[in-house]
Amino acid sequence: APPAAAAPPVSADTERVLASPVARRLAEELGIDLRQVPGSGPGGRIIKENVEAFAAQRQAGGRPAPAAVPPAPAAAPAPPVTAPPVPPVSLPGAEPLGRMRKAIARAMSDAKPGVPHIYVTIEVLMDAAMALRAQLAASGVRISVNDLVVKAAAKALARVPAVNSSYSLTADGQPGRIQHQQINVSVAVALDDGLVAPVVRDADKKSIATISAEIRDMALRAREGKIKQQELEGATFQVSNLGMFDITEFVSIITVPQAASLAVGAVRQVPVVKDDQIVVGQVMHLTISADHRIIDGALAARYLKELKTLLEHPLHVLA
């Protein structure tokens, strides 16, 4: 048998291929060009099983002929910019990233240049939600603000389903979208060397107590390195919360192939106007990052308005 070819060089085309971090790492180890691998994940995303199947086919019948890659078209003239792009730097003493951080770096590089982001922020009055948390705690049921947000975010997706979607090419290569039937919310969990985002599946149909228990269990196993890969896949929406660090608001980067991500700030006591009186209220800022190819500002705003209504009337979140 002829010797295996060397691993293909990483090119801009390869970096743009829609693939999971695990699939990318495996393809690098096996010397497989991801452009030749058909994907079966959401939106045609290449997953680990696709790379394994491709490798098995290559081993059984020899390396398949590489798919013809058309020459790159001439670059269009760049639009005017206020500042030139900053090229990657190479500094002496740089240490290689760990496996997890390297995967995160690839995923973020895939998302930010390729996905046109739009950001919309809303302020939510959390007095009723915080009072409900206290009532539940008094009865022995402990839920976090994040649990409430995840459940409310899922219910808002059910009310504004166009946000629960993905940008994808059609069968003939034209721009298209996929409307997801399941509402699967991933929750960002910080680790020592990065983060993971375990997925709460069918979050709109689960009780808040069930959601809370699942998040705690998966977060614990993620920090212990015991989380399963399938528990990190299949999300249609993401919630990222930095409120525990007293962050007022921030924006998050969309994780492809999702079309939106919700950034949750801290609940703070601030002066608010109620019945023409200035009183102390508890407020929280929510910012949605949305894929502007399929979600415009009005749709993102409508989603946030539904989410605000649910959180300000939290009994509807529990229903």
> Long-range contacts made by residues 178-185, C-beta under 8 angstroms, separation at least 24?
178/42, 178/43, 180/42, 180/236, 182/234, 182/236, 183/154, 183/157, 183/158, 183/236, 183/237, 184/234, 184/235, 184/236, 184/237, 185/150, 185/153, 185/154, 185/157, 185/235, 185/236, 185/237, 185/238, 185/239
Please state the length of the chain: 319
Which residue among the candidates 180, 285, 292, 316 is catalytic per the annotation?
292
Contact predicate 195/222, CB 8 Å? no
Q: Is 285 a catalytic residue?
A: no
Rounded to the nearest 5 percent, the helix, strand and coil shares of the chain are 40, 20, 40
Residues that are catalytic: 292
